[in-house]
Amino acid sequence: MNNRLFTRILAVLAFSLAALTIQAQTTAGNDTASRVSFQNNNSNGVTVSGLQSVSANNRLNAQAQLSNTTGNHRHVYYRFRWLDSQGAQLGGGSSWKPILLTGNQSQTVREAAPSANAADFRLEINVE
């Protein structure tokens, strides 16, 4: 009897977990280039990789890995701009966020969309 109850509980938990599974979409090559822009077209040795968008709880979440390919410190400012399904910008975009990348360091940046209407994003980066 206890095994049967345990099996049912396990089945319910497995079903619930499957229902809550989030889907990640890793963007590749051309998608990354179209979603990322460097202010003044100057990356100063900072690269972007691992660009992903994940939908969870009806919200789009974006993340990217920023890497400093130089031996010098880089002051990096980034922000996400959120777009609806028609490509129109939602709101004014997020504020600029600062990070310090030391020589040859990488850091992941992420942000959740401010609205469930967000269908895509752009990442803007300014490197000093």
What span, in angstroms and rounded, lies between the C-alpha atoms of 33 and 51? Answer: 10
* 83 belongs to a structural domain: yes
What span, in angstroms and rounded, lies between the C-alpha atoms of 61 and 115? Answer: 10
* 19 belongs to a structural domain: no
What is the per-residue pLDDT for 93?
A: 81
Q: Which residues of 65-92 are buried (b: 16+ CB within 10 A; e: fewer)?
A: ebbbeeeeebebebbbbbbeeeeeebee
* 81 belongs to a structural domain: yes
Q: Identify which of 69, 80, 52 has the alpha carbon closest to the alpha carbon of residue 106.
A: 69
User: Residue 9 — very low, low, confident or very high, per pLDDT cuts 50/70/90?
Assistant: low
Q: What is the pTM of this model?
A: 0.75
pLDDT(120) > 50: yes
For residue 122, what are the domain limits?
A: 36-127
* 28 belongs to a structural domain: no
What is the per-residue pLDDT for 31?
A: 78
Give me the CATH number covering residue 107: 2.60.40.3230
* 24 belongs to a structural domain: no
* 61 belongs to a structural domain: yes
Domain count, the chain: 1
What is the per-residue pLDDT for 21?
A: 38
Question: Do residues 73 and 100 touch, judged by C-beta distance below 8 A?
Answer: yes
pLDDT tens readout for residues 66-79 = 999 999 999 999 99
